[in-house]
Amino acid sequence: MFYMTQLVGGQLITILKKSQTIKFASIAPYEDNGPLQSHYLALWKKYGYVIDYVYAYDKLSVSPFIYHFNHQQDSSYVGCQLLASFISKGNLDLPPNDGFFEACRELKRQGKLGGIFVWSLMNQKPLVLNMNKNLRLWL
């Protein structure tokens, strides 16, 4: 079922980009080191030329986050613009208070940071205020 969805999804992205209905497309692979991850990799291998961004996420500290990010970009999703990301609930990824921006500074220094994506930000007003301050300082 997912394989069929993968083909249809890749074809749909191609059609929408060619018609300029969308300007960019992204995927957020779920890393299970198994069947689900293999479908994302197959989608990337076949349709990577129309996928602009891939999100990297995992609950890690700064050094393992940077290693994971670089590993994904250098092995699984070669040539992609990889986005560092976190979820505003703080239950996944490397949260801002635990070194997210420190990791982003290092990835930016390496020339590997394609951008930042924040999941579910609108539901977290206190976090939004703190994030705005941190983003201004970081930029």
Structural domain spans, the chain: 2-138
pTM above 0.75, yes or no: no
Are 52 and 13 in contact by the 8 Å Cβ rule? The answer is no
Q: For the residues 109-128, what does the mean pLDDT come to?
A: 70
Looking at CATH, the fold of the domain delimited by 2-138 is given as: TIM Barrel (3.20.20)
Give the pLDDT band (50/70/90) at residue 134.
low
DSSP string, 56-93: E--S--HHHHHHHHHHIIIIISTT-EEEEEEETTSSSB
Residue 68 pLDDT more than 80?
Answer: yes
Give the pLDDT band (50/70/90) at residue 118.
confident
Residue 32 pLDDT more than 80?
Answer: no
